[in-house]
Amino acid sequence: MKKKNIWLWNHYATEMYKNRGGRHYWFAENLIKQGYNVTVFCANTFHNKLESIDTERNKYSTDIIDDIPFVFVKTFTAIGNGIDRVKNMSYFYFNLFSVAKEYAKLNGKPDVILASSVHPLTLVAGIQIAKKFGVPCICEIRDLWPEAIFSFNKAKENSLLGRGLTAGEQWIYKKADALIFTKEGDTDYIKEKKWDVEQGGDINLDKCHYINNGVDLGSFKLLASNNEVDDTDLNSEKFNVIYVGAIRPVNNVGNLLDAASILKEKEDLQFLIYGDGNQREMLEKRVVEENLTNVKLKGFVNKRLIPNILSKSSVNILNYSQTRYNWARGNSSNKLFEYMASGKPIISTVKMGYSILDKYKCGIELENSTPEELAGAILQIKQSSEEQYNSLAQNARKGAEDFDFKYLTSKLINVIESVK
């Protein structure tokens, strides 16, 4: 039986190539093990960095790592979200057409294209190029554009631009042979817009599928045991309240400092914050001014160290702003599944729709996200019995198995086979 050629398109998978891990890297790795031929197409640039992979004046270059072929499509480097970002996305889109044609001549055309957002031009290219090849296109929606743009006030929904982006989004959903959403409740968005067939629209919900983000458990365990973090605070006997992630407004990390201030007298408890972002300097200033000796901002850490850090936590914090994002449809942050894989209780500062923490009984979700409520939840876990604590921890570890990429890839195979 002929092996099927699967092309995975993700503009930002260059980071996955560099880190040898991530959603499409692990999908590719597991698909290859299942007998598929897989190629990952991405930009030759790195997100928000000036470095790039040299294509030597060609429109693309290639490399193979861990048996996964990568195609690096030439585009412009871009820092920030200005005109350079638009150029970066546009050139990736336009160059995909000639790169796909040339690559297919040398290596054979795909049987299926899986085009993944974040930005929608990759999806548009996937649909258009798949049509030229006469093959199906699966569109993977990892962020609901343009809703995310509207929620951050970067465009008005009823403006000419907003209406145009929404019309383009609807076109993508209509033309895709299958849709993959990364949050369980994302298909509710189609119903809210009344785009589904049952409400007179043109999108059949039968072609909508849900495959969350996840974790490679084998890789996670290996990294946890092979990358010991030499950190006096982390290795202390204190109750470690750990946050790992970006330090920016949507993550509302200042709320952690407010909770730390309330728990200042608890000498056997400390907050360890790992990550970087545009609010880090402000928080560091607060730590000094408010004499928060129970808070340590550790700065940026290599992703390969995160499993070991999390293995030494007492409780992991999913810290978000209640108002800067629509959490009703669920959560698909990579951080959530790394937290679960570490086998430690989790506190989420927002109550999610389609709650994974509630489903797997592995943590606490806050109703109001006040510092007092967060401090109370931390104390609740700290003061819980050994049996209660271990139950939360075991549920987290067990639940992570449902988000292991071996299992998630089996769900992807079902989608691939459904469009052939």
Q: 363 forms bridges with which residues in the sheet?
A: 346
Binning pLDDT at 50, 70 and 90, where does residue 250 land?
Answer: confident
Tell me the three state secondary structure of residue 116: strand
Query: Options 2.60.120.260, 3.40.50.2300, 3.30.365.10, 3.40.50.2000; which CATH number does 217-403 get?
Result: 3.40.50.2000
Q: Report the pLDDT value the prediction gives residue 143, as an integer from 0 to 100.
A: 83
Query: Options 3.40.50.2000, 2.40.50.100, 3.40.50.150, 3.90.1150.10; which CATH number does 5-212+405-418 get?
Result: 3.40.50.2000
Tell me the three state secondary structure of residue 401: helix
Binning pLDDT at 50, 70 and 90, where does residue 324 land?
Answer: low
- In the chain, the percentage of residues whose pLDDT exceeds 70 is 99
Q: 365 forms bridges with which residues in the sheet?
A: 348
Q: Report the pLDDT value the prediction gives residue 91, as an integer from 0 to 100.
A: 96
Binning pLDDT at 50, 70 and 90, where does residue 11 land?
Answer: very high
Residue 333 CB neighbours (<10 A): 15
Question: Residue 60: what are its φ and ψ, rounded to 5°?
Answer: -160, 165
Section 75-88 average pLDDT:
89
Phi-psi region of 110 (alpha: psi -120 to 50; beta: other; left: phi over 0): beta
Q: Report the pLDDT value the prediction gives residue 62, as an integer from 0 to 100.
A: 97
pLDDT digits (tens, 9 = 90+) for 182-231: 999 999 999 999 999 999 999 999 999 999 999 999 999 999 999 999 99
Instruction: Pinpoint the residues of the chain covered by CATH 3.40.50.2000.
Output: 5-212+405-418, 217-403
In this model, does residue 356 exceed pLDDT 80?
A: yes
252-256 contacts at long range (C-beta below 8 A, 24 or more positions apart): 252/319, 252/320, 252/321, 252/322, 252/324, 252/349, 252/369, 253/277, 253/279, 253/283, 253/319, 254/279, 254/282, 254/283, 254/286, 255/319, 255/349, 255/369, 255/371, 255/374, 256/295, 256/317, 256/319, 256/374
